[in-house]
Chain A
Amino acid sequence: MTFINQVVLILNRDLRIEFRSKSLLLSMVIFALLFQVFLQIVFDAKTQAIQMIAPGILWLPVLLSAMLGFNKYGSAERENGALTGLLVSPIDKGALFLGKLIGNYVLVFIVIVTSVPIFFLFLKQPFPASIGLLLTTLLLGSWGFVAIGVFLTTLAHSSSITELLVPIMIFPLAVPLFLAIIQLTEMALFPSLGMGENLWILLLIGYNLIFTVAPTFLFDLLLEV
């Protein structure tokens, strides 16, 4: 079976299981929405203040909700020895990583689609100056974050590293990503700041490439006994 077929096989398996129970997806979406409402209450009336930290408020629910997903997503694989079933099979572990990454991304994408419009609705934000830049940032930024998250969780579950390490390791690794997405989101929301966005987008793309391509190729070597 080709590499792509293996990726699709894993993606299909996980999404079929997730969409059958929907409990993870629902809790991710509800969490993001409630958190958005919470932030709205906390920063109520301080329109000026909100403007300054708007990018953070837009991203925080999305990122935390994504974190919620990393451990739970694909957890069926850790029951009844299903992971052993994969490890004794001829599957390429890079395909396992990529299939999970795409599946996780699908869930986070659904969170973005529901949570970001609410951000504009609740926080009475002006319509973004550049909706194209905002979309690009959302899509690229969440991909990068999901990529590190899935990389760390897959590593933790397939080796002796404990999964408690994931939330500790993810933030230092994600610092360059956060810098880029906050800058870009600010440029997208407020036109006057629009400068040097190409550089940040390049950084984001480079970051995504590293955390997508490297694990895809390394996992098969890393996890081979």
Chain B
Amino acid sequence: MMELQNINLFMNDKNVLHSINLQWRKGESIALIGANGAGKSSLLKVLGTLVKPNSGKLKYPSDLSVKEWKKLLGIVFPETFLYHSLTAYENLRFYQKLYGKINKDRIDEVLKQVKLFHVKQEIVDTYSKGMKQRLSIARALLHNPTYLLLDEPFDGLDSESKEILKNMLLQMRQKGTGYILVSHDSEQAWELCDRAVLMHEGRIIAEGKCTNQGYFPFIKRYREIVKEKSS
């Protein structure tokens, strides 16, 4: 289990994260919901060890070191991490080696999953935005991560690609891969996750299990809390 204890994060003197406590069990999928600027991306950056919180503690699963935690982690951020002058295949080969194991079949497998196999020898610069996003997803899944951080992974995808990604996430969920999903389509995120966490101005203000009928009551409660806080 990954655990955040009392995390505070300041960026340019702005309190971006406010005593965040979060437990992320292995295989658990969490929908992270909140308005623009609520601190969702910042929270993912803390989990991805990209920024160091000003106070509080990160407890890695089974006391792993930071390096070992990084090996378990797969990341889809708004930036694709891709090299535009390399081909899709070269990009994936680079990232695969970075995580240790070289396995050509695995590269072809993920390329087929995101429907880019037929253009794998083309320079990424020639890809459309959605194709780059799909390749970025392939890059993140390549090393079979146990924990995934997904910041707006559906961004720029057409409806067919959205469907593909949705099915990939459901499949991974079955296989025991956990993920934190940030998406502005909160209803869809709700469908894809075990638990929803609501953020507002750097704080976690509500949590709930993603049950079949629970979405609308949950969102209603969220709106009420936000109204209360701002009045």
A interface residues (Cβ-Cβ under 8 A, vs B): 1, 5-6, 9, 13, 16-17, 20-21, 76, 79-82, 84-91, 224-225
Contacts and interface: CB of A to CB of B under 8 A. Distances in A.
Interface in B35-58: 48-52
Contacts of B51: 225
Contacts of B82: 80, 82
Contact of A76 (B66, B80, B85, B100): B85
Contacts of B83: 13, 17, 76, 79-80, 82
Contact of A13 (B50, B79, B94, B100): B94
Interface string B184-221: 00000000000000000000000000000000000000
Contacts of A79: 83-84
B4 interface: no
B162 interface: no
Given A80-B84, A225-B50, A225-B51, A90 B79 contact: no
Interface of B: 48-52, 66-68, 70-71, 73, 75, 77, 79-86, 90, 94-95, 97-100, 139
Given A13-B86, A81-B79, A84-B81, 7 more contacts: A16-B90, A17-B86, A76-B85, A85-B81, A85-B95, A88-B75, A225-B52
Nearest to A6: B98
Contacts of A224: 66
A91 B95 CA distance: 11
A225 B79 contact: no
Contacts of B66: 224
- The main secondary structure of chain A at its interface with chain B is helix
A90 B84 contact: no
Contacts of B49: 87-88, 225
A86 B84 CA distance: 16
A80 B85 contact: no
Given A20-B85, A80-B79, A82-B81, A88 B98 contact: no
Contact of A80 (B70, B80, B94, B99): B80
A81 B81 contact: yes
18 contacts: A1-B97, A9-B94, A13-B86, A17-B83, A20-B85, A21-B85, A76-B83, A76-B84, A80-B82, A80-B83, A85-B139, A86-B98, A87-B50, A89-B98, A90-B68, A90-B100, A225-B49, A225-B51
Given A9-B98, A84-B77, A89 B86 contact: no
A154 B65 CA distance: 25
A91 B81 CA distance: 15
Contact of B71 (A17, A76, A90, A225): A90
Contacts of A21: 85
Contact of A16 (B52, B71, B79, B86): B86
Nearest to A81: B79
A5 B98 CA distance: 9
A9 B77 CA distance: 23
Given A82-B81, A84-B79, A225-B50, A90 B97 contact: no
Nearest to B46: A225
A39 to B, nearest CB: 34
B80 A91 contact: no
Nearest to B101: A1
Contacts of B139: 85
Contacts of B48: 88
A199 to B, nearest CB: 42
Contacts of B73: 88
Contacts of A80: 79-84
A201 B48 CA distance: 45
- Nearest 3 A/B pairs, CB to CB: A81-B79, A85-B81, A225-B52
A9 B52 contact: no
A97 B207 CA distance: 43
A224 B81 CA distance: 19
Contacts of B71: 90
B12 to A, nearest CB: 11
A141 B73 CA distance: 42
Contacts of B84: 76, 79-80
Contacts of A89: 70, 95, 98-99
